[in-house]
Structure 1
Amino acid sequence: MRTAAGVRGVLTWRAPWCSRARLGDAALVDALAAMTQRQAHGWWDSYRDHLPVGLIDLAELEYHAAALRVALVIHIPALLQTTDHARALFKAAVPPLRQYEIEHRVSHRVKRQEILHRDDPPSYTAVIHESALHMGYGGEVTVRAQLRHLPEMSELEHVTVRVIPFGKGSFPGTGQSVDHLAGRVPQLDTVQLDTRHGCEFLDAETQLEKYRLVLDRMEADALKPAESRDLIHRIAQTV
């Protein structure tokens, strides 16, 4: 699994994989060097004693990604969740989390969202099935706030939100949440899957290609961004 941990992580995690790169792969070497210079110790390091390692690795991968594509069926994407929505999700976790564990996860999620507001944000495309907009996590007030927040975020130049409406006859994949984190060079791409046992990371080219195709199919089935905003607004009016 390809994840970094500042300079130390790049040297350790990348070493076996970098051995497959040709000595003349200047773009790859430059990308790795940029990662080590960009942030040797990230904000995520302060959470290492409090959260599962998969969540720490995901935050670091997002920080260094050039582009993000996500697809979800019954959840709002983590980077587009309101604080109250995120807290409601963590309160429903199985097995139950203690209150301090919930707050660690909420604050970590909010920190992850900062990449969408920095000076050089990655492009971010989220495909959401309409079912996620009807789940009702946290009650009416939380739901209304979340449904207002989604279209507001989609107005950012680098953020695209598209909804797959009810009624689509076909559906790619199994409905599993998929995050594709594109590196500065293709060799740094990673796919993250949410599973019952935590985050699972994939980096083999055959695996990456499969999930790129799944994301392509889901985007093809989704409404255009403006149509998606209209649908979200209509659902919000019914809450």
Structure 2
Amino acid sequence: MPLRRNPTARQLRLGAELRRMRERSGMSSTEAARLLGTNQAQISNIEASRFGVSADRVRALARNYACSDPALVEALVAMAVERRRGWWEEYREILPASLLDLAELEHHAVRIRTAYVAHVPGLLQTPEHAREIFRQAVPALTPPEIEHRVSHRVKRQTILYGDAPTSYEAIVHEAALRMQFGGPFTARRQLRHILDMTEHDHITVRVIPFTAGSFPGSGQSILYATGPVAKLDTVQLDTEHGSEFLDAEAQLDRYRVVLDRMESVALDEAASRKVIHDVARS
């Protein structure tokens, strides 16, 4: 089996979960290899996502590790057998890998919670708003690079449409609503688009007003993607060098608390819509 050169974040997560399962069982990679009828290097390559792994092997490893969580095992099996190339693969040689990993994460999430202070969440941005943001990138992007990023962002938004859209909950600070990216016309269209999106039952937008004062998480954007089981949840953070993906249980617990506390200081849905409407009118 050829080695993978650049495993995706989803492939890396599968390997990491198999390693965690083994470590929780107290079994060494050498012992795991013996029970599976292979060698230690094979186990290491599977856990590092350098090799793929079949559904039968995922189940065999889970049995050997005495895993008592069948829902987790079947979720890992689904990750292992996923062979279909997503739409994001067309950008593989065009955009940074972290943007493709983000699209894949969102595609497979069953629920998304996100919080932004200085920006409108990407899944709610209009093309004009997104284009203006990309024009401010450092180092500067060429016009084709900007358009590739805009089209990628728009395609990410397809998870919010269709027969089985993803549940989406966004917390947005009033500051982001008042940023006039692209000027008043573009800003007004962006706000009206958010109001239109909140008409969908599966989309919730709540605003943190200026009057809320301080709150946790005010210095960063957060995307919390809920997996098919809680142990496969993922947090994505935006940084100057790209996306950062977190999946340790302590990290997931921390960001669940942060989002809950941000939500506690946000206005309810009706009051939030009124704020967005008032900002758009002004």
Bigger relative CO (Cα 8 Å, ≥ 6 apart): 1
Other-structure match for 2:15: 15
Query: Does residue 231 of structure 2 align to residue 231 of structure 1?
Result: no
Answer yes or no: is the 8 Å Cα contact 2:117–2:218 preserved in 1.
Answer: no
Aligned Cα root-mean-square deviation (Å): 1.7
What is the alpha-carbon distance in structure 2 between the residues aligned to residue 96 and residue 2 of structure 1?
A: 26
Deviations 1:23-74 (A, max 9, x none): 3321112223344566621001111101111110000000000100000001
Tell me, yes or no, if the aligned pair for 1:54 and 1:199 is still in contact at 8 Å: yes
Change (3 A) 1:93 1:224: same
Task: Give the residue type in structure 1 aligned to 2:129.
Answer: H
- Aligned: 1:26 with 2:70: yes
- Percent of aligned pairs sharing the same letter: 56
Once the two structures are superposed, residues 197-218 of structure 1 have per-residue CA deviations (whole angstroms, 9 ceiling, x without a partner) of 1111111111111111110011
Of 3, 9, 16, 1:3 maps to 9
Q: How many residues align?
A: 232
Q: 1:86 aligns with which of 130, 140, 164?
A: 130
Where does 1:157-236 land on structure 2 (aligned, <5 Å)?
157-236=201-280
Q: Give 1:66's aligned residue.
A: 110
Does 1:99 find its partner at 2:143?
A: yes
Partner of 2:54: none
Counterpart secondary structure, 1:18: helix
Residues 114, 62 of structure 1: alpha-carbon distance in 2 compared, 3 angstrom cutoff: same
**Matches of 1:161 and 1:2, distance apart in 2:** 30
Match of 2:197 in 1: 153
Output the CA distance in 1 between the equivalents of 2:76 and 2:164.
Answer: 18
* TM-score for the superposition, normalised by structure 1: 0.92
Matched, 1:42 2:86: yes
Q: Secondary structure at the match of 2:171?
A: strand
* TM-score in terms of structure 2 length: 0.78
